[in-house]
Amino acid sequence: VSRVGDRATQVTARRDLASGELDVDVDPPGPAGAVTLELADGLVEILVDVAEPTNLLALHAEDPDDDRARQVIELLLGPMASARAARVGADDAVVWNREADEPETTLARGARRGTAPGGLGLIGRTALSTAEAAGPLVASAAEAVGLVEAGILALDLAVGLGIRPDPLAIVRAGMSRWHDLDDDEFDHLVPFAREIVDRGERWSKVLGVHDPDAATELVALLAELRDQLQPYAASAAGAVGPPGAGVRAEVASDMATPAAAPVAGGLRSQLMAVRLSQAAEERPSTPTIRLGPELVPSDARLVRTEFERNHLTVHVSGLPEWPKIRDGRHGRGIWLRVFEDRGDEALPLAMAPFDGGGFRWRTAIAILPEAASEGRLLVDVTTNASSPWDSEATHRLRSAFELGAHAARRTRRGDARAPEDWDRAADAWDEMGDEAHAEQARTLAYPSAGHDPLITDLLSEI
Amino acid sequence: MGSGPDVGAAELAAQQLVDATAWLLGREGRERADRTLTRRGLPHSSMDVDDLCSAALLRLTVRFGNGPIELTHGDDSVRAYATTVLRSLTTRLVDGGARQRLQELVDWSEQVAPAVESDDDRIDDEVAAGDAVDIVRRRALDAIDGRVQAWTVAAGLATVTIAAGEVQVMDGIRVPAREADVARWAGLAYAGRTDCFDEPEDGAVRERRAQALHRVADLLTRLLDPHAAST
C-alpha cells in the first residue's frame, strides 16, 4: 500500500537517462509550501506538504538502484508503484493510480481531505519538525528544544530509513544549544516546562536506546527545567494575544526618527549616539526596502531610512525578538542587506545586523561604497542572510508560502487566530492570480483533525 | 590571483561554465526550468522561467569559480549538474531554505579552525587593485554556512568597502593607530561584533577580537582564492 497520503490521485515518474536519477511526482505543494527530508543516507529526498504533512508531494532519488534507496522508495510508494517506477524511461509515466490500484482508499464523495489515516505518518511529522526547528524566526530556546524533538522523532523511525542529517547529530546540536541558553533565553521555556518535561521523558527513553550518555545529558537538562515547573500556560493551547493585523511591509517614512529609542549597550550605543556630523547629501530618492518573506507574517514595519555620507540607516518597528545575534555565537540575527542592481545581477554591497531586541525600534547601519547610487540600491530586512536577492515575483510567491506556513503553525497549536491567518494567505494567493492555492487556504482554515503541536509551535514567537 | 588554481583546472571550469550557460539559456535548459516549476505547481510564465534561469546562472558562476565539477556522468555531467541546481532552487522556493538552515545548525562548531593561511597584506593589495572587491561581493552570500556565520560575511563586505579607499567610517567607531588595520576593525564594528570592543579592554576582549579578525581574513582569503580553501 502506498504512503503517498490521501490527496494524491495518481503518481508519475521519469528517469534521467544520462544521470540515472529518478523523479517521482505526486502532488504540488499546498498554500503553506513544503519541507524536505533526506532519506537513504541522502540518496533519496522527499518533499512533504507543510499544511498536511501526511502527504508526500515528490521524491527524488540520485541512485534509485542502490539497495538503500530502493527499500525507501518501496516503503513510500508501495511494492507495485515502486516496481513500475524502476522501469520508467525519460518520459513521464503513471506508476500508480488510486482508483485503479487502491480503490478502497478512494475518499467517499464529500469526505474531507486530510482525514484519512496513514499516508506518511511520522515520516511527515519528522520532516516538518526538522524544518520548523530550523525555522527563520524561532527563538534560541525553541530552536534548542525543537532540534531535540526533531532528532528524537527521526531516531524513532531511523532504522532502515537513513535520515540525514544524522538524527543523533540533530539531538546533540539541540542539547548543545540548550546548554548555551542564557538566563533570558531559558526563561522562554519556563511557561512550557510541564509540556517539555512530559515529552522529554519519552525523548530520553528513545535516546537511551541509541546513545545512553546523550540520554543522561538530556535527563539532566530536563531536571533543571523540572525545577522551574509552573502551571501549564493557558496561552499555549488557546488564543494568544490580539488578532494579528495584515501585511505591513509599507514604508512610513514620515514617522519621526526614533532618536531617543534605547539601543543595546557598548559600541552600538556609541554608534547611535553619534549622529553623522555632516548634513545629508542631496539625494533623489530613498531606496525601496522590503521585508524578507519570512517576516511578512510578523508585525515588522519599516519606519524610516536615512542615507547620509555613504551610510544607510534603517529603523524598523515590530521586528520579532528572535532570532538574535549572539556575539558571534550561533545566533542568526535579523539583517539589513544592501545590493546593487546591475541589471543582470544583484551584487551584495553590505550587510548589517539589527541591534538587540526588546525595544520599540530596532536599527541597522550599513556602510556603502562611495559609488553606490541610491537609485540602484536593492534593500531588504531578513533573517535569511545567505539567500540571494529574489525577483519581485519570487518574493511574492515566497511571501504567500510563508503566510500559509504561519497559518499552519497556528492551526497546529489550536490558535484562535488561525482562520484569519489562512484568510491572509488566501488573499496573497488571490493577488497572484492563483485561485487553486487560495481556495485550498480557505479550506484549511477549518481543520477537522485535532491539534497536535510541535514543541516549536508552542514556543513560537509570532 | 594569489597562488591560484592550476591552469588546467581553471580552464576546465571556465569551459564547463560556458557549456552550462549555453545549455541553461538554450531551448533545452529553459524547457527543463519550465518543467521543474510546473512539477512543483509554481507559476511558470516566461518571466518565472527567466527568474529561475538567472538564479541558476548566478549559482553556476559562483560554483565554477571554485573549480571544475567532477565528470561523474561523462559528457552529460555539466547538464546534470545544471539540472540539479534548477531543482534545488525550485525546492528553495517551496521550503524557504529550511533544509540548508538545518544543515547549518547541525554543522555549526565554535571550534572550527581557520583552514587556510590568511595573508592580510596580500588581501589589502588585491582589494586595492580593484577587481577583488567585486569578486568578494559576488561570492559573499554563498560563503555563509555552518562554519562561516553571517557576521563574518558582513564584516568582510564592510572591510573591502573601507579598504578599497571608497568611504570613511562613522565617527565613534574605535579604530587602531595602524592604518592598515582600520578597515578590519571597523568591519567588525559594522558587523555588530560589539563584544570585540568591550570596555575595559582586557586580555579576553583582545583575544576575542583577534579571533574574529582572523576569521574575517580567512573568509576573504577563501573568497579571493577558493582553490586555497579546498581543505
pLDDT tens digit sequence for A419-431: 999 999 999 999 9
**How many angstroms separate the CA atoms of A330 and A424, rounded?**
33
Q: Nearest-CA distance from A121 to chain B in Å?
A: 19
* Residue recorded with cell 527499500: A71
Binary contact (B151, A136; C-beta < 8 A): no
Question: pLDDT tens-digit profile of A137-163?
Answer: 888 899 999 999 999 999 988 667 999
B111 contact A CB<8A: no
3-class DSSP string for A253-314: CCCCCCCCCCCCCCHHHHHHHCCCCCCCCCCCCCCCEEECHHHCCCCCEEEEEEEECCEEEE
Name which of B40, B54, B167 is nearest A367 (Cβ-Cβ).
B167
Binary contact (B73, A143; C-beta < 8 A): no
Tell me the chain B residues in contact with residue A350 when contact means C-beta distances shorter than 8 Å.
154, 157-158, 161, 190
What pLDDT shows up at residue A276?
32
Residue B113 burial class via C-beta count within 10 angstroms: exposed 0-12, middle 13-18, buried 19 and up: exposed
Positions of chain A with pLDDT lower than 50, given as ranges: 108-116, 232-285, 327-328
DSSP state of B144: -
B88 contact A CB<8A: no
What pLDDT shows up at residue B61?
86
Q: Nearest-CA distance from A243 to chain B in Å?
A: 25
**How many angstroms separate the CA atoms of A413 and A242, rounded?**
16
B79 contact A CB<8A: yes
Q: Nearest-CA distance from A270 to chain B in Å?
A: 6
Name which of A47, A131, A335 is nearest B102 (Cβ-Cβ).
A131
Tell me the chain A residues in contact with residue B87 when contact means C-beta distances shorter than 8 Å.
60
What pLDDT shows up at residue A78?
92
What pLDDT shows up at residue A283?
42
With a CB cutoff of 8 Å and minimum separation 6, the contacts of A451 are A237, A411, A412, A413, A414
Q: How far apart are the first and last CA of chain A?
A: 39
Tell me the chain A residues in contact with residue B140 when contact means C-beta distances shorter than 8 Å.
348
Name which of B77, B99, B201 to mutate to probe chain A: the one with the most chain A Cβ atoms within 10 A of its Cβ.
B99
Dihedral sign, CA of A460, A144, A155, A70? positive
What pLDDT shows up at residue B146?
67
B154 contact A CB<8A: yes
Binary contact (A327, B195; C-beta < 8 A): yes
At residue A372, what is the residue type? A
DSSP A230-248: -PPPGGGTS--SSPP----
Cβ within 8 Å of B, A 396-455: 397-398, 401-402, 405, 432, 434, 437
Helix (H, G, I), strand (E, B) or coil at B114: coil
**How many angstroms separate the CA atoms of A410 and A416, rounded?**
8
Question: pLDDT tens-digit profile of A342-387?
Answer: 887 899 999 999 987 666 788 999 999 988 877 889 999 998 888 8
With a CB cutoff of 8 Å and minimum separation 6, the contacts of B67 are B5, B9, B10, B13, B226, B227
**How many angstroms separate the CA atoms of A45 and A66, rounded?**
14
A33 contact B CB<8A: yes
> C-alpha cell of B174?
574605535
B54 contact A CB<8A: yes
**How many angstroms separate the CA atoms of B159 and A337, rounded?**
15
What pLDDT shows up at residue A262?
33
**How many angstroms separate the CA atoms of A267 and B175, rounded?**
12
What pLDDT shows up at residue B51?
87
**How many angstroms separate the CA atoms of B25 and B68, rounded?**
20
B189 contact A CB<8A: yes
CA-nearest residue to B144 within chain A is A386
Q: Nearest-CA distance from B221 to chain A in Å?
A: 18
Q: How far apart are the first and last CA of chain B?
A: 19
* Residue recorded with cell 490521501: A6
**How many angstroms separate the CA atoms of B1 and A404, rounded?**
47
In tens digits, chain B (231 residues) has pLDDT values of 334 446 688 889 999 999 999 999 999 999 999 999 998 888 888 988 988 998 899 889 888 887 888 877 777 889 989 999 999 999 989 998 888 889 888 886 544 444 455 566 666 776 666 678 888 998 888 888 767 788 999 999 999 999 987 688 998 898 898 888 899 999 999 999 988 999 999 999 999 999 999 999 999 988 887 655 443
Alpha helix (H) residue ranges in chain B? 7-25, 27-39, 46-65, 77-95, 98-107, 120-129, 131-140, 150-163, 179-190, 203-224
Tell me the chain A residues in contact with residue B74 when contact means C-beta distances shorter than 8 Å.
18
Helix (H, G, I), strand (E, B) or coil at A93: strand
**CA geometry: angle at B5 spanning B89 and B11, to 5°?**
70
Dihedral sign, CA of B149, B150, B154, B160? positive
CB A353 within 8 A of CB B191: yes
Binary contact (A325, B164; C-beta < 8 A): no
Residue A55 burial class via C-beta count within 10 angstroms: exposed 0-12, middle 13-18, buried 19 and up: buried
Binary contact (B96, A384; C-beta < 8 A): yes
